[in-house]
Amino acid sequence: MQFSTIPGLYELKKQLISAYQRGKVAHAQLFAGRPGTAVLPMALAYASYLMCENKTEEDSCGTCANCVRINKLVHPDIHLHFPKVSAAENKYEKVLAEAIPTFREFVMESPFGDLEAWTRKYGQENKNLLISRQDSRQMLKNVSMRSVEGGFKILLIWIPELMNSSSANAILKILEEPPEKTIYLLASYSYDSLLATITSRTQLVNVPPNSTEEIQSYLESRGVETKNANQSAKLSEGKIGLALHVAEAGESQEYEDFQRWMLECWNRNLTGLVHRSEVFSKSGKAMQKTNLNFAISLIRNAVVHSSGQQLPSQNEAEVSFIGKFADKLGIHKLEKVYELSNEALIHLERNSNPRITHLNLSLDITRVLAS
Ligand SMILES: [Zn+2]
């Protein structure tokens, strides 16, 4: 992965390259940003830059033996660690061997994908993935081995917040005192939930969201038609991963579904709402969160509209729907609906029962609309 394949974020790229040029590459770096941002691509582009045999002042070459192998995630001196299903000790090797090819495919197909996208690809939508104690043992093994080719050895830990405290504690010592030419790159979506013992031992590399324009042109460069690219970019709040998902989800299926849902609440269509919560609960954890996130972004747009500010979206149908929706509810009710939806999302993230959570949300919204 090259820096040039990541849209925008020029300051950050410059900062990373300059650290290398000044011989100031910190041995443990924590790339942190929100889910869907360029956290993982940036860490990978940086790894490529460090390893590239023909780097320029702007980027890795993309074609030398190291670049080619890093692109395919098969470089013997780059060790990838990522969330997986938990496994009994004697099954760990098998789980790892099965997950690695899928993970490689996932990163090549969707480097901006977040944990939800990974669980979909991995086919483990109803499991909680983690970086286990066995993974941390594997890391210790990686560190103790000599680099195969004599250059840098890089351990890339994707979503380190999914290490439990025992696996995190197991790697503290190697984080603090790595062997020479060993570099840890951690790529996190939740800086705040990382243990202080980890954050204090790593240098923070803040990966900001992309601008709407950057995301739109990125989507267009991947063949998404302008209108869809524009709408998806605006809904995504700087998260490329989410923008890609929304764009791929098709023109406006999710948006129309949201409309139907709100109408069911409005009409107190209990049968419809019960059925909807059934369908929702069967869609898999990752999809549930994506759908709720999408609804939340539409509701937020309605709040923005209600408060008299310019709507970020230019899609006519959406502006017209949001306008009507906002006018009908008024800012007070909208804010309440927004709050309830966010609470439901938090419950989901804490593994509440999705059917009950969704039905409760629908009923709460129905009450707000009727009040
Ligand atoms: Zn190269």
243 within a domain of the structure (yes/no): no
Q: What is the CATH number for 73?
A: 3.40.50.300
Q: Give me ligand 1 centre to Cα 287, in Å.
A: 37
Residue for token pair 């790595």: 178
User: Which residues are registered as beta bridge partners of 154?
Assistant: 78, 183
Whether residues 201 and 270 fall in one domain? no
| pLDDT tens for the 371 residues of the chain, in order | 999 999 999 999 999 999 999 999 999 999 999 888 999 999 999 999 999 999 999 999 999 999 999 999 999 999 999 999 988 888 999 999 999 999 999 999 888 888 888 998 998 877 889 999 999 999 999 888 888 887 889 999 999 999 988 888 888 888 888 888 899 999 999 999 898 989 999 999 999 999 999 999 999 998 888 888 888 888 787 888 888 877 876 555 677 788 889 999 989 999 999 999 998 888 777 778 888 888 898 898 889 888 888 766 556 777 778 888 888 888 999 999 999 999 999 999 888 999 999 999 999 999 999 88
Q: Give me ligand 1 centre to Cα 136, in Å.
A: 29
Whether residues 293 and 185 fall in one domain? no
DSSP helix/strand/coil, 182:
strand
Q: Give me ligand 1 centre to Cα 231, in Å.
A: 36
Q: Give me ligand 1 centre to Cα 325, in Å.
A: 52
Cα separation, 211 vs 202, in Å, equals 27
Q: Give me ligand 1 centre to Cα 78, in Å.
A: 14
Q: Give me ligand 1 centre to Cα 47, in Å.
A: 11
354 within a domain of the structure (yes/no): yes
Q: Give me ligand 1 centre to Cα 61, in Å.
A: 4
Q: Give me ligand 1 centre to Cα 143, in Å.
A: 24
Q: Give me ligand 1 centre to Cα 152, in Å.
A: 14
Give the end of a domain, one of 172, 206, 240: 206
Q: Give me ligand 1 centre to Cα 84, in Å.
A: 30
Whether residues 263 and 354 fall in one domain? yes
213 within a domain of the structure (yes/no): no
Q: Give me ligand 1 centre to Cα 80, in Å.
A: 19
Q: Give me ligand 1 centre to Cα 68, in Å.
A: 7
Give the end of a domain, one of 174, 206, 238: 206
Q: Give me ligand 1 centre to Cα 230, in Å.
A: 34
Q: Give me ligand 1 centre to Cα 48, in Å.
A: 7
Whether residues 57 and 193 fall in one domain? yes
pTM over 0.75: no
Q: Give me ligand 1 centre to Cα 2, in Å.
A: 9
Q: Give me ligand 1 centre to Cα 185, in Å.
A: 19
220 within a domain of the structure (yes/no): no
Whether residues 119 and 263 fall in one domain? no
Give the end of a domain, one of 182, 206, 230: 206
DSSP letters, 298-333, are HHHHHHHHHTTPPPS---HHHHHHHHHHHHHHHHHH
9 within a domain of the structure (yes/no): yes
Strand runs labelled E in the chain: 28-32, 78-81, 153-158, 182-188, 203-206
Supply the range of the domain harboring residue 37. Answer: 3-206
Q: Give me ligand 1 centre to Cα 15, in Å.
A: 19
Q: Give me ligand 1 centre to Cα 149, in Å.
A: 15
What pLDDT was estimated at residue 314?
A: 54
Q: Give me ligand 1 centre to Cα 55, in Å.
A: 6
Whether residues 156 and 296 fall in one domain? no
CA angle 346, 158, 123 (to 5 degrees): 70
Whether residues 73 and 200 fall in one domain? yes
3-state helix, strand, coil in the chain (%, to 5): 60, 10, 30
51 within a domain of the structure (yes/no): yes
Whether residues 303 and 160 fall in one domain? no
Whether residues 291 and 155 fall in one domain? no
Whether residues 176 and 265 fall in one domain? no
The amino acid sitting at 217 is S
Cα separation, 214 vs 240, in Å, equals 9
222 within a domain of the structure (yes/no): no
In total, how many domains does the chain have? 2
Whether residues 73 and 157 fall in one domain? yes
14 within a domain of the structure (yes/no): yes
Contacts of 168 (CB under 8 A, 6+ apart): 136, 160, 195, 197, 198
Q: Give me ligand 1 centre to Cα 66, in Å.
A: 6
Q: Give me ligand 1 centre to Cα 72, in Å.
A: 13
| CA 29, 33, 36, 42 torsion-angle sign | negative
Q: Give me ligand 1 centre to Cα 335, in Å.
A: 51
In Å, what is the CA distance from 332 to each residue of 52, 301, 319, 337, 371?
55, 14, 20, 9, 11
Q: Give me ligand 1 centre to Cα 168, in Å.
A: 32
User: Which residues are registered as beta bridge partners of 188?
Assistant: 32
Q: Give me ligand 1 centre to Cα 176, in Å.
A: 29
Whether residues 16 and 122 fall in one domain? yes
